[in-house]
Structure 1
Amino acid sequence: MNTFIAKTWRPVLVLLLLFCLWEAAVRYFEIEDWLLPSPSAIFHEAVLSWDTFSIHALATAKLSVTGFLIGSAVGLIIAIILHRIVFFRESVYPLLILSQNIPTIVLAPLLVVWFGFGILPKLIVITLVCFFPITIACLDGFRQTSPELKHFMQMSGSTKRQVFWKLEWPYALPSIFSGLKISATYSVMGAVISEWLGSKEGIGVYMTMASRSFRTDRVFVAIFAIMMLSLLFFIVIKLLEKWCIRGSSKEEK
């Protein structure tokens, strides 16, 4: 607990100082709320509109988690296939890189045309955002496997499946979780972008309605909510990483 406090008090202090400077600047220069609201005004609006906003936040959280789980599964499956089948990796890997050069905001309207306004195009957007960091991190983790240990297991008569699950997979876990942490934060962004396409609820919908009515305070409420959701997902993956890697290390002992 003391270690956690020692690591977090500095960034919390810096954040509080930034909010204080922001508050002072808005009051000193008498900036209008529609142009740049103060942190106190944003907090006040968050409290007042919580009953309405919580519905949108919950919808985005559900969509983010669902898309993240699907994207993670797709990313891991693709990484395993590319790792196990060499000629397939050489053929498909460049296409994966090219797929990330397509702007999501441009591809999203096409998905609506192809698949309608349901949940499917939204999940596709989040999956496209999430799977690539996991695939790349997983492949890098597989490549970091100790060649000496791999050669030793092969000389001991281990099958390719045994080498993969007993050696390569544990070695890749730290890299996999690095990709998961990146994708977890991207999933919220992907969910918000997908909600701009056409949805009845969600932070993206709330943000769009607020910006159209020049309620800048509500836009900032949505922005801070996106940041908090991303941070929450990151912390959950971080805790899961400690539990899994610690558990795998105990099994090896």
Structure 2
Amino acid sequence: MTKLTMASRQYWPTIGLFAILLASWQIAVSFGGIREYLLPSPLAVWNALWFGDTNWTQHLWVTTLEIIGAFVLAAVAGIVLGVAIAWSPLMANALVPFLVFVNTLPKVAVAPLFLIWMGYGIFPNMLMGALIGFFPVVINTAVGLTQVEPDMLDLGRVFSAPKWKIFLKIRLPNALPYILSALKITATAAVVGAIVGEFVASQSGLGYVIVTTQSSMNTSVAFAALIWISVVGLLLYGAVVLAARVWAPWAEGTE
């Protein structure tokens, strides 16, 4: 059995479900008397995607940059902070309460502050996405680095391995599946954060498109923007899944 056949058998229920939902949606709008500005038909959304006058290339490029930037910032900051927490109990006591406090802040309320501090642009939206997505990376990194089999640590001590070598050879490989699992969460959180930032302060991007369609009641364009956002999020999530299979194949099937 080829991989393509196996993949088709695995995902055909999802494809079938989407086909049924789209058909039901089209029938409901066409024969149910639903106004187009309340719920556009799939055909109207398709036309908005490919045949409308919206400059999708520009907006898609801006949002993609923001999402990838947010993901990278969240990953780097989360891993660094997680390593610091696992490395030093003093750092853990200092950082954990502060990070919990930051994570409990309502991110939508923080977005206007970013506008005041940094103005319009891509970088503030990157920071918003990173702020939403970094916390799971911190926690999973710290847990993966500390929850190591005692026998493995004892083995390192028997050979008189220094702390940094135990960290690199034992703790880090143990933490890799934890980190990659957190990055899957961060991949979706980065999308949410970037769009929230665009809602508050932006002059381009897919979130900006959604906001501007409210005044004109051009709901089909808003739905089309949502589809592009989902595509970017799925591609980023898929890249993380692929990286997990390449870098930590031993963790497959353990989640």
> TM tier, shorter chain?
over 0.9
**Does residue 1:123 correspond to 2:151, yes or no?**
no
Which residue number in structure 1 is paired with residue 182 of structure 2?
179
Q: Percent identity?
A: 26
- Give yes or no for contact 2:177–2:251 (8 Å, CA) kept in 1: no
Which residue number in structure 2 is paired with residue 204 of structure 1?
207
Give the partner amino acid of 1:87: L
Number of matched pairs: 249
Query: 106-115 or 138-147, which moves further after superposition?
Result: 138-147
Give the partner amino acid of 1:34: Y
- Give yes or no for contact 1:37–1:216 (8 Å, CA) kept in 2: yes
| Counterpart pick for 1:189 among 178, 192, 196 | 192
Matches within 5 A, 1:219-238: 219-238=222-241
CA offset at residue 247 of structure 1? 9.4
Query: 102-111 or 138-147, which moves further after superposition?
Result: 138-147
CA offset at residue 193 of structure 1? 1.3
- Give yes or no for contact 1:189–1:226 (8 Å, CA) kept in 2: no
Which residue number in structure 2 is paired with residue 25 of structure 1?
28
Q: Say if 1:30 and 1:171 are closer, same or farther in 2 by CA, change over 3 A.
A: same
Deviations 1:107-146 (A, max 9, x none): 0101211222244422221221121111112122223311
Unaligned runs of 5+ in 1: none
Tell me the C-alpha RMSD between the 2 structures. 1.9
- Give yes or no for contact 1:170–1:248 (8 Å, CA) kept in 2: no
**Does residue 1:94 correspond to 2:97, yes or no?**
yes
| Counterpart pick for 1:153 among 149, 153, 156 | 156
Which residue number in structure 1 is paired with residue 64 of structure 2?
61
CA offset at residue 102 of structure 1? 1.1
Matches within 5 A, 1:34-113: 34-49=37-52, 52-113=55-116
| Counterpart pick for 2:18 among 10, 15, 18 | 15
Give the partner amino acid of 2:149: S
Deviations 1:79-113 (A, max 9, x none): 00011011221232122122122111110101211
Superposition TM-score, scaled by structure 2 size: 0.92
DSSP-derived class of the 1:150 partner: helix
Which residue number in structure 2 is paired with residue 167 of structure 1?
170
Deviations 1:136-176 (A, max 9, x none): 12122223311111111112111111111111111111111
Query: 3-12 or 178-187, which moves further after superposition?
Result: 3-12
Unaligned runs of 5+ in 2: none
Superposition TM-score, scaled by structure 1 size: 0.92
Q: Aligned equivalents of 1:101 and 1:160: distance in 2? A: 34
